[in-house]
Amino acid sequence: MKGYWYLIPVSVTLGFLTKNLMHYWLLGLFLIWILYLYHKQRLGIFPILISLIASLFFTWYIPSPTQLENTAPHLPDKKEYQMTGKIISPIDEKSHSIQFLLKDNSHDNTVQVVYFNGKHDTASTSGRIHSLKYGATCEIKGIMEVPDQPTNPGQFNYRQYLFGQGIHYQIVVNQLSGLKCSGSGYMHRFYKLRDMLTTYVVTNTSESTSAWLSAIVFGDDSFLPKDTIELFRRWSLSHLLAISGLHVGLVLALLYFILIRLLGLTKENAQWTILLFLPIYAVLAGGEPSVIRASAMGFVFIVINKLHMKWSVSDVLSFIFILLVLVDKYIIYQVGFQFSFLVTFGILLSQKWLLQDGFSFFQMLKLSFISQLIILPLYFTYFSTFQPLSIPLNMIIVPYFSFFLIPSLFILFILSPFKLIAAILSSLINVLQEYMLAMITYIDNSFSTSLSLGPLPLSITVIYYVIFFLLMKNLHYKNLTKAFGYGILLVVVLVSGAIKPYVSNVGYITMLDIGQGDAFVVELPHRKGVVLIDAGASFSFDSGEPTEKVYTQVIKPYLLSRGINKIDAIFLSHEDTDHNGSLSFIIDEFKVGAIIVSQFYELGEQEIDSLNKLGVELLRLNENTAVTIGGESFTILGPKKDRASSNSNSLVIYGRLGEKGWLFTGDIGVEEEKNILQEFPGLEVDVLKVAHHGSNTSTDDEFIRKLQPEYALISAGKNNRYGHPTQEVIDRLEKYDTTILRTDQDGAVQFRFKKDKEGTFYRQFP
């Protein structure tokens, strides 16, 4: 079995995919492969049996998403609930909330506890918060709920994310009296130490250095600016922020050097010290899968060496994989786990190719190339877009991190008691970091050529990996011409994925569920045009300013998942936040051709300035004019005159798409509806966007009677405080047999149509 242990992680992975994607042929493929190897005498009977048993065992063992849902014990949902259990995670303390995991004593299942600190918390109550410790026994009182499901296509699946960690319920504690904890566990010391060290770092070094220090030394990136984290993610540099094998390797090298050269320890003792240090470091560095993987590998290699045993690297990697999965069957759902093992395995397989020409920048490029390409389909699944230029960028940034930043931050940490030296080193790091960030930002602004494919279909993923395998195999055997051919083919596959929407004759009109507010995305067949009708946002109750939440959680993920990075036009019905609040975020990150508003839409000078600066055209349209986008005409039916109220002044848009007449009404009232009937008799409306989220100030009986729409679209927030849509409006629509599609109940609603053909509506929750 030696040398063949990697068959087990392969079987685990295929079992996981089989259950997740419900494609049982994947497991079948594995069995056929194993039997083929047996037939060809490549494998003895022992590895065959182990692999077969493992594949069956792990397919049974790893929970599938549906299984997760079904096995969730039935607890009262949305009700006050009391439970006793043990804290089994470090306490995640943020400015507005405290989160931790609690293992329920009676049901033996894990619950995520969230406590939102209000402002009323005083020092006298902070005692309760301090009693929150790893391993403490707690009595919790709060509202029990099942984590939210995504209500929009492309949206992050929080429920599955938590289910993937074995967490089926979330309990929201509103009052501090709902948290009663005492005692602590053994592991608490380590988490406490980690907290103390980060606090020490934050208080003792300058702000920008400490943010990097806690990210890179302790794996806690919460002090880094969000923009930086997002920038690193965009350019596939996040692995540098998370503690990965690279860090652990460097730390070990540094430690080994210090122990032997500076402290004069024998090699023997230095190795023992490192063995002791590794598990502690894994915990201090945050215990992410990549840290555990890297530390465990270091640990095992030293032990193997000490015992004079010989094992192949792939075997050691496989053992650690198997061990982690056995300890935590949910771990395979974690992105960090998937990336870490896949990249390590890819590098391992490419060793010969990597070591061909000694250490050089070319080698760094190869390393970057393998690491990025082996996870590319996963990358599209999770992030929708990929920057091809991140491969050469990694080649530059990775050495900078490896040879300068990471070692110097560790040295800075060690030297931090010596204020003067620390200050000098810290300012040196700061200067270089600024240059580095400025460079990445410059590249981000000037050379951004992102490939937005959205999640790849399984067929493309399979084709991708087959070609990637052939490419790497030919590189391994130095068949450069063939390898080049497969390289080209790989690019062709990706590009064909990118042009798919341009070839496809299917169009989409999507009413996104953004809570209480409007956001429609119209994608014409053959990607002739992408049009947004309204782009609302939620707003913070403190300042009244729009928040990024709707944009980052709904609109952006949807657009990226559809491979959209250019929008031809955005119609804004009127200037309320629930209709236009996400505009500023969109024009910042997407190429937007034009903003189309009514002649009465009020725009501040600042807003006009920023539109000009970003080269976004501003179009003010009068009633009874039309604009053609991608060959489809959108007619403006109002407002005719200034009614001095933003709602009444809403832009009314009419278009024919998928053999249906669509009327988008913004937030107009009964008066404006009457006006439309008067001005445009004989208007054919099949799909009506019900005005003002279904408020009873619109959707007049006469309006529905005359138009007789087949479908009514209502975008309203779940349990919104305005009571939208009102029963009156619902009754009225039902009276005329109109099918009602509403975001608060159906989630996002999507109309899919083929060019010049009838289409069909799909609800997010059928």
Partner 1 sequence: MYCLWCHEEIITEVHWGNLIHLYRPKRLCMNCESQLIKIQGDLCSICSRVSSVKKCADCLKWEDYEESPIKFNASLYTYNSFMQEVVAKWKYRGDYQLAKIFQYEFEKEYSKKFSFLTKKKPVVVPIPLSKQRMTERGFNQAEVLADFIPLQKDHVLERLHGEKQAKKTRYERISTENPFILRKSINKTVILVDDIYTTGTTLRHAARLFKGNGCPNVYTYTLIRG
Amino acid at 324: L
C-beta of 44 vs 399, nearer to partner 1: 44
C-beta of 6 vs 341, nearer to partner 1: 6
Q: Is the backbone peptide bond immediately before 639 cis, with ω within 30 degrees of 0?
A: yes
* CB burial of residue 686 (10 Å; 0-12, 13-18, 19+): middle
Nearest distance from residue 475's CB to partner 1, in Å? 7
Q: Which helix (H) or strand (E) holds 627?
A: strand 626-629
Residues counted in the chain: 766
Radius of gyration of the chain (CA): 29
CA separation, residue 276 to residues 204, 270, 287, 709 (Å): 27, 10, 16, 72
Nearest distance from residue 497's CB to partner 1, in Å? 24
C-beta of 82 vs 351, nearer to partner 1: 351
C-beta of 46 vs 60, nearer to partner 1: 46
Q: Report whether 361 contacts 396 (CB < 8 A).
A: no
Report the alpha-carbon distance of residue 163 to residue 175 in Å, rounded: 26
- Rounded to the nearest angstrom, the gap between the alpha carbon of residue 353 and the centroid of all alpha carbons in its chain is 33
Report the alpha-carbon distance of residue 437 to residue 69 in Å, rounded: 43
Report the alpha-carbon distance of residue 449 to residue 386 in Å, rounded: 9
C-beta of 45 vs 327, nearer to partner 1: 45
CA separation, residue 755 to residues 327, 526, 631, 680 (Å): 52, 9, 12, 26
Nearest distance from residue 350's CB to partner 1, in Å? 7
Nearest distance from residue 41's CB to partner 1, in Å? 6
CA separation, residue 26 to residues 4, 522, 590 (Å): 20, 36, 38
C-beta of 68 vs 475, nearer to partner 1: 475
Report the alpha-carbon distance of residue 334 to residue 317 in Å, rounded: 17
C-beta of 348 vs 423, nearer to partner 1: 348
Nearest distance from residue 206's CB to partner 1, in Å? 46
Nearest distance from residue 16's CB to partner 1, in Å? 19
C-beta of 226 vs 352, nearer to partner 1: 352
Nearest distance from residue 463's CB to partner 1, in Å? 16
Tokens of 475: 């590189």
CA separation, residue 625 to residues 145, 269, 595, 651, 674 (Å): 50, 84, 16, 12, 19
Nearest distance from residue 126's CB to partner 1, in Å? 54
CA separation, residue 283 to residues 169, 203, 578, 601 (Å): 26, 22, 44, 56
Phi, psi of 75 (to 5 degrees): -115, 155
C-beta of 309 vs 327, nearer to partner 1: 309
Nearest distance from residue 468's CB to partner 1, in Å? 10
C-beta of 30 vs 115, nearer to partner 1: 30
Phi, psi of 479 (to 5 degrees): -85, 80
Nearest distance from residue 48's CB to partner 1, in Å? 11
Nearest distance from residue 37's CB to partner 1, in Å? 6
Nearest distance from residue 313's CB to partner 1, in Å? 7
Report the alpha-carbon distance of residue 55 to residue 61 in Å, rounded: 10
Nearest distance from residue 634's CB to partner 1, in Å? 53
C-beta of 295 vs 314, nearer to partner 1: 314
Tokens of 51: 């692999």
C-beta of 32 vs 326, nearer to partner 1: 32
Report the alpha-carbon distance of residue 396 to residue 30 in Å, rounded: 39
Strands (E), 50-122: 79-87, 92-93, 97-104, 110-116
C-beta of 7 vs 240, nearer to partner 1: 7
Nearest distance from residue 348's CB to partner 1, in Å? 7
The terminus-to-terminus CA distance of the chain in angstroms comes to: 49
Alpha helices for 617-691 (secondary structure H): 670-679
Nearest distance from residue 341's CB to partner 1, in Å? 14
Instruction: By CB under 8 A, name the binding residues for partner 1.
Output: 2-4, 6, 33, 37, 41-44, 310-314, 348-353, 469, 472-473, 475-477
C-beta of 343 vs 714, nearer to partner 1: 343
C-beta of 10 vs 733, nearer to partner 1: 10
Nearest distance from residue 474's CB to partner 1, in Å? 8
Amino acid at 262: L
Q: Report whether 627 contacts 641 (CB < 8 A).
A: no
C-beta of 28 vs 44, nearer to partner 1: 44
C-beta of 231 vs 313, nearer to partner 1: 313
DSSP string, 325-381: HHH-TTGGG-HHHHHHHHHHHHHHHTHHHHHTT-SSHHHHHHHHHHHHHHTHHHHHH
CA separation, residue 731 to residues 326, 704, 720, 725, 738 (Å): 55, 11, 19, 11, 10
Q: How are strands ordered across the β-sheet holding 660-664?
A: 626-629, 632-638, 652-657, 660-664, 687-689, 711-714, 739-742
Report the alpha-carbon distance of residue 461 to residue 447 in Å, rounded: 27
Q: Report whether 530 contacts 524 (CB < 8 A).
A: yes
Nearest distance from residue 476's CB to partner 1, in Å? 4
